[in-house]
Amino acid sequence: MAFAIGYGSHIIADVPWHVLAGDYHELGFLLWPVTEMPPYSGVKVVGTVGGVEITTLWFEAIILIFGVLVWWSDGRPGLDVIARYIRKN
């Protein structure tokens, strides 16, 4: 069940980058191996704001920062386990 949720959510998260960039032809990966896998094209440019290209990396950085902030505000779960393990060894 965890694999199905992880796999499905990962595919759902991959689709918006292609749609925002207008690269609909690259959505063939959704039906792989039935359809041919499109070549990897790297970072997608989504738009330009004030002369600065906004790429998918910007969105990924925002998601990472948000995740770290949520983890930090939740008391940094998991660090205590790592600290106990390090102290034992």
In the chain, the number of structural domains is 2
Q: Tell me: the pLDDT tens digits for 19-62?
A: 877 878 778 777 778 888 777 767 777 788 898 888 878 888 89
Average pLDDT over residues 50-76: 90
Are the C-beta atoms of 61 and 48 separated by less than 8 Å? no
Asked whether residue 26 falls in the same domain as residue 62, the answer is: no
CA-to-CA distance for 13 and 77, rounded, in angstroms? 25
Average pLDDT over residues 70-84: 93
CB environment 31-47: b (16+ within 10 A), e (fewer)? eeeeeeeeeeeeebebe
pLDDT on residue 59? 81
Q: Whole domain around residue 16: which residue ranges?
A: 1-42
Asked whether residue 35 falls in the same domain as residue 54, the answer is: no
